[in-house]
């Protein structure tokens, strides 16, 4: 088999790449043929990709501080010392006029101080405009002085096989460029991450690339580099980026509301496997089996019942419970959509409107007078994927009955009277019988407690 010459390779690459505009500088020639180069595009793009550095102050208490002899003998102050943790990542300027920078939430999470270093060497203090842990998107703001920004592409038009370039700050080395193709679209099911609709690419993404740019050959932003799949911790050619359309939607909501409003059908669901299919008298297939329906929720008003198998939502097939939860979090709220499901072996459809998850809350006083002043809500998708089950205490009014009984905002109640609960519906059902004593099993921080409510 003949080995292709370097000139032949250059000619084949030239056929694949778009013709450079007339204003671009022609690359050097080899044997009279121009060598394809991404340099003209990168010269425009790289000034918009920045390095992001965050500092977090952590209190560190030496075991000697707990010994009164050591404190007195060495005249140690009775205050814990501070240690500063630093994190390095990347970001992308997407609005030069307002100084807006997109990055990953995990790059700046819990940061006390965030700085952005531009390609020209300037270091700017950044303000955290907002962040969304469930999509791992954060928005920063820097002084808008002589900035370059990237235009966001419409990623609905992205195709597997499109050429892409990843730009970021791997291992703190400084701006680095790698290239590849779109390997897959709509990837989900990655553990530890929230709502997922990732672009998969074989362009090298390494630690420090997080928050950096994935661009097409026109220099448009198509994704925010976020994660890699790697048995060893290094790049193996499987990287994931948040699509620009999702990042744009999250950014717009953070700018408008300070948070991301997501919709909910109002159901609990589990995967439809072979055993469950037989138990329900269904042909083996895929879908999400409804196990509970929240009263007065969109699903309840649309007539869904436990045992129904959801197979499609807004023309997207639903193969399991994770895909259903993912679709709920990514679809726009307050818009009518069609849902496909199976009941008693018969395919049916329902039309409903997703409502904001925040609308699905329960006031403690309506559940039991001993919980007056507490407000309960569902766990976030990220918390559920981390393995948590139950109901979150969203708020507790100062001086209320719930506060006197020991409830605190942030508690996660996973059991009532030694029975596990999975959500608001089960909490409501457990308390509907008005038990003489309520014994909550809950997480507070990283510890589990029993809390009697009297």
**Which residue, 221, 204, 168, is CA-closest to 41?**
221
End-of-domain residue from the set 95, 115, 141: 141
pLDDT in tens, 92-132: 999 999 999 999 998 888 888 889 889 888 888 989 999 88
> Do residues 85 and 56 both lie within one domain?
yes
pTM comes to 0.66
Q: How confident is the model at residue 182 (pLDDT cuts 50, 70, 90)?
A: very high
- For 241-279, the DSSP string reads EEEHHHHHHHHHHHHHHSS---EE--EEEEE--HHHHHH
Mean pLDDT over residues 393-418, rounded? 90
- The parent domain of residue 277 ranges over 263-357
Instruction: State the Cα–Cα distance between residues 284 and 59, nearest whole angstrom.
Output: 54
Quick one: pLDDT at residue 29?
Answer: 64
Q: How confident is the model at residue 231 (pLDDT cuts 50, 70, 90)?
A: low
Contacts of 38 (CB under 8 A, 6+ apart): 165, 177, 179, 217
Question: Which residue would you say has higher pLDDT here, 148 or 1?
Answer: 148
> Do residues 161 and 97 both lie within one domain?
no
Q: How confident is the model at residue 76 (pLDDT cuts 50, 70, 90)?
A: low
Give a yes or no: residue 267 inside a domain: yes
Instruction: State the Cα–Cα distance between residues 441 and 435, nearest whole angstrom.
Output: 15
Please give the tally of structural domains in the chain. Answer: 4
Q: How confident is the model at residue 165 (pLDDT cuts 50, 70, 90)?
A: very high
Quick one: pLDDT at residue 320?
Answer: 84
**What amino acid positions are annotated as catalytic residues?**
106, 136, 210
Quick one: pLDDT at residue 7?
Answer: 39
- For 16-61, the DSSP string reads HSPPPPTTSPPPPEETTEEPP-SHHHHHHHGGGEEEEEEEEEEEE-
Q: How confident is the model at residue 233 (pLDDT cuts 50, 70, 90)?
A: low
End-of-domain residue from the set 216, 247, 278: 247
What CATH code is carried by the domain that includes residue 170?
2.40.10.10
User: What residues pair up with 348 in beta bridges, in sequence order?
Assistant: 341
- For 113-140, the DSSP string reads EEEEE-TTS-EEE-EEEEEETTTTEEEE
What token pair was written down for 431? 């308390």
Place of tokens 């809500």: 377
pLDDT in tens, 314-349: 888 888 887 888 788 778 788 888 999 998 888 899
> Do residues 275 and 334 both lie within one domain?
yes
């Amino acid at each position: 088999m003949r080995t292709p010459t370097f000139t032949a390779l250059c000619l084949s690459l030239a056929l694949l790449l778009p013709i450079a505009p007339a204003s671009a500088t022609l690359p050097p020639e080899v044997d009279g043929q121009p060598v394809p180069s991404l340099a003209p595009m990168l010269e425009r793009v790289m000034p918009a990709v920045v390095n992001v550095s965050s500092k977090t102050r952590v209190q560190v208490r030496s075991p000697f501080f707990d010994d009164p002899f050591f404190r007195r003998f060495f005249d140690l102050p009775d205050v814990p010392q501070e240690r500063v943790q630093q994190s390095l990542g990347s970001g992308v300027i997407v609005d030069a006029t307002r100084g807006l920078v997109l990055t990953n939430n995990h790059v700046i999470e819990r940061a006390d101080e965030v700085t952005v270093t531009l390609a020209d060497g300037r270091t700017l203090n950044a303000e955290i405009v907002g962040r969304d842990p469930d999509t791992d998107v954060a928005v920063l703001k820097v002084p808008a002085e002589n900035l370059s920004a990237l235009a966001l592409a419409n990623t609905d038009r992205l195709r597997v096989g499109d050429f892409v370039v990843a730009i970021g700050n791997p291992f703190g080395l400084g701006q680095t460029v790698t290239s590849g193709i779109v390997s897959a679209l709509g990837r989900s099911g990655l553990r530890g991450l929230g709502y997922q609709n990732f672009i998969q690419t074989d362009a090298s993404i390494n630690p420090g690339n997080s928050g950096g740019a994935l661009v097409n050959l026109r220099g448009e932003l198509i994704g925010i580099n976020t994660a890699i799949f790697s048995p060893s911790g290094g790049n193996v050619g499987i990287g994931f980026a948040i699509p620009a359309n999702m990042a744009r939607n999250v950014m717009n909501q953070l700018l408008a509301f300070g948070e991301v409003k997501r919709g909910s059908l109002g159901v609990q669901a589990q995967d439809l496997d072979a055993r469950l299919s037989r138990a329900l008298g269904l042909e083996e297939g895929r879908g999400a089996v409804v196990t509970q329906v929240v009263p007065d929720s969109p699903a309840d008003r649309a007539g869904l019942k436990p045992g129904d198998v959801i197979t499609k939502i807004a023309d997207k097939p639903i193969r399991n419970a994770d895909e259903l939860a993912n679709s709920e979090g990514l679809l726009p709220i307050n818009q009518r959509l069609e849902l496909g499901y199976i009941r008693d072996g018969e395919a049916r459809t329902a039309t409903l409107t997703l409502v904001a998850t925040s609308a699905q809350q329960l006031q403690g006083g309506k559940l039991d007078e001993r919980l007056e002043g507490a407000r309960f809500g569902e766990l976030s998708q990220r918390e559920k994927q981390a393995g948590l089950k139950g109901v979150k205490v969203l708020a507790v009014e100062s001086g209320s009955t719930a506060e006197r009984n020991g409830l605190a905002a942030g508690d996660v109640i996973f059991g009532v009277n030694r029975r596990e609960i999975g959500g608001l519906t089960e909490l409501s059902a457990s308390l509907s019988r008005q038990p003489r004593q309520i014994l909550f099993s809950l997480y507070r921080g990283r510890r589990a407690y029993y809390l009697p409510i009297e």
